Amino acid sequence: MKKFSLFLSLLTMTFSLIISSCSSDEENNRIEENTAFPSYKIIGIYHNENLDYIYDAIKEQSEKLKTRSKTDLRSIITEDFLARSISEFANITETMNFKQYSKEINQVSFPIISSYYQCHNPSTRINTQELFEEKLSQYNDTQKKYINMILSAPEIDVCGFQSNIEKIILKMEKDENLDYNERQIIYIASAVAYGSYEYWTENLSKWEELSGSDHIQTRVFSWSNMWQSDVEGTISGGIGGAIAGGSVSMGTLTVPGWAAGAVGGGVGGSAANAVGQIFF
């Protein structure tokens, strides 16, 4: 009888978990059915693939030099190296058609990369937050409200974080104070945050290992600040000014050409922040 009661309790717990999981999935499906956001998620995929491309480029240099010395690698992983890797990826990937904007992506991402390098460099230590606030001021108050909501999203598990981003989007889409064009930067920044949070949750350790175990033990790598630098880079890249006019097709969706600069800026901010934390 006791065994049967135990079995019944376990069965009830299992069933409850399944119901809970299904309810969560159903909630997410309802969110996706009522928002345009799923079409933008490819931007997050592109962003994460670009970070892996940069990681592979750094690793290749490390193996070529047969060293993981942060001093040796820092001399190679320059601002130009990262910006070039970002524009190279735009030229070769089939995930999104940013090829026509590869030169402009380089121009937009370079100063963003440089600012994060200077932030981590002990001899300069510029305040990237002040630079971001300057860029943010060029958006209207409603856009800034949603950008700050994205940046303030609670850092929980990946699924929970992504669900919160989707809820921000759902709220934004009901806001009549934003027109179609003004909403684009919110969609793009959300897609970058959505992908970046997952990327750094899953790939932090392999980036840490780029400079060897000794260096890891002497520094604290802030992964939570990585996805935020992604979003800040995206916001800055979206108004970089190097990309005006044009458009990019994403399946049935078309986004303005400046989206290429926004995504490139996001990748640049994230990669430069990672390199700055690891190699400076």
Has residue 220 been placed in a domain?
yes
Render the burial of 135-153: b for 16+ CB within 10 Å, e for the rest.
Answer: bbeebeebbebbbebbbeb
**In a domain? residue 17:** no
Range(s) of the domain holding residue 79: 39-137+188-279
Is residue 60 in some structural domain?
Answer: yes
In a 3-state reduction of DSSP, which class is residue 249? strand
**Number of domains composing the chain:** 1
Report yes or no on 212 lying in a domain: yes
Q: For every one of its 280 residues, what pLDDT tens digit does the chain have, with 9 covering 90 and above? A: 444 344 334 434 443 443 344 344 444 444 444 578 998 999 999 999 999 999 999 999 888 888 777 778 888 888 999 999 999 999 999 888 888 888 888 888 888 888 887 777 766 656 667 777 888 888 999 999 999 999 999 888 899 999 999 999 999 999 999 998 899 999 999 999 999 999 998 998 888 888 764 444 444 456 567 778 888 888 888 875 556 677 877 767 778 888 888 888 888 888 888 888 777 7
What's the predicted TM-score (pTM) here?
Answer: 0.81
Number of DSSP helices (H) and strands (E) in the chain, helices first: 12, 2
Asked if the structure places residue 154 within a domain, the reply is no
Q: What's the rounded Cα separation, in Å, for the pair 175 and 182?
A: 11
3 in a domain, yes or no? no
Q: Residue 98: which of 242, 275, 274, 270 has the closest Cα?
A: 242
Residue 232, domain member (yes or no): yes
SS3 for 192-212 is HHHHHHHHHHHHHHHHHHHHC
